[in-house]
Structure 1
Amino acid sequence: MRLAPPVPMPGRLVRTPRLTLVPPGKENLPDLIRLKSDPRVFELMLHGTRSEERTREELEDDIEFWQVRGYGTWCVYLTGTGEFLGIAGLMERPDGRGVAMRFALWPECRGKGYAREAARAGLEFGHRAGLDRIIAVAWEENHASRAVLQDIGMVECDAFPYRGRRMIVFESLRSR
């Protein structure tokens, strides 16, 4: 889907060589509903696929999170075309483990390095914003996500069971 160019948000807009990361706004709701209701993308995410109503609530929370914290989850676009690829960024985990890196892109994006590029940009932004420790959680069998996290410099630090699966916790510590 081709979209209008993202509205610049000083200090919050992130550009990489191929991607533009923009904090979400209400205009992103249709794309987010499609993404978050798709089991190919969100089945293994914390709390699984989302309903339209849940996605709307999460969008409101994401907008507020940015206003309060100055960081959060971005909508990820391919810079050259404006195509919506998914989401990446930082969120406070509801289980109290801390601020976590997350990314969820369309399956068609796999193998192109977009998740790695977006996750690295989000991690760097978070550390520049003052976060000393950023974690990420991936299902043990999700080798692609684990590879992304390792490639951007995150290291395994813990594990826990969730819905009958072993989840691996990664962390990145800000260098001083």
Structure 2
Amino acid sequence: MTNPTWRVTTARLRLDPVSWADLADLVALKTDPRAFALMLGGVRTRERAAEELAEDIGLWGRHGYGIWTVRGLNTGNFIGMTGLAARPDGRGIALRFALWPEVRGAGLAREAGGAALRYGHDQARLPRIVAVARADNFASRTVLGAIGMVEVEGFVRDDVPMLLYQSVIRRDGR
């Protein structure tokens, strides 16, 4: 049973903490190169997607934040995922999002990512949240800028230029 305060709703979306009931949807998303080829680690196997789901469920219990499924508010249709998780390279707690290509271009990544970012700062009390995008992934970079994240660093991963974005909230009132 998940904490009901972990659910987030927006004008068009419902974000629910991942659960085992989401396995089929997440496997479909993560094994599809149209949706996951540009994500850190790339397209997953079914087994790896299930392992990640177990890890993501554990995040909620340990930290009170993690990965959400993204569903249409009125339809309940699964359209992707978003959330917050520690980056394996130590750069910080990162905002992630991946939506089905069929729903892209309607501002849903911005809406879901923005909701996850606000939750991270306001409910999880994270003062700094990062995100990484390929330098040539203008769609993701546009989303990150639109939700107020600022480009702060460039680096190369696997011969691919990457950009680090961040959002920082000061808790001391300055």
TM category, shorter: over 0.9
TM-score by length of 1: 0.94
- Structure 1 residues 76-155: aligned runs within 5 Å: 76-128=70-122, 129-155=124-150
Q: Whole-Å Cα distance in 1 between the matches of residues 69 and 30 of structure 2?
A: 12
Opposite residue 167 of structure 1, the aligned amino acid is M
Cross-structure match for 1:65: 59
Q: Whole-Å Cα distance in 2 between the matches of residues 9 and 80 of structure 1?
A: 22
Opposite residue 141 of structure 1, the aligned amino acid is D
Cα RMSD (Å): 1.1
SS in 1 for 2:6: coil
Cross-structure match for 2:16: 22
TM-score by length of 2: 0.95
Opposite residue 172 of structure 1, the aligned amino acid is S
Cross-structure match for 1:158: 153
Q: Whole-Å Cα distance in 2 between the matches of residues 56 and 166 of structure 1?
A: 29
Percent of residue pairs bearing the same amino acid type: 51
1:9 Cα deviation after fit: 3.7
Q: Which runs of 4+ in 1 moved over 3 A?
A: none
Opposite residue 49 of structure 1, the aligned amino acid is V
May I ask how many residue pairs the two structures share in their alignment? 170
SS in 1 for 2:74: coil
**Which of 33, 38, 45 is equivalent to 2:32?**
38
Q: Whole-Å Cα distance in 2 between the matches of residues 22 and 9 of structure 1?
A: 10
SS in 2 for 1:96: coil
- Per-residue CA deviations over 1:63-98 (Å, capped at 9, x if unaligned) read 001100000110000011100000001010011000
Q: Whole-Å Cα distance in 1 between the matches of residues 32 and 56 of structure 2?
A: 19
1:8 Cα deviation after fit: 7.4
Give unmatched runs, 5+ long, in structure 1: 1-6
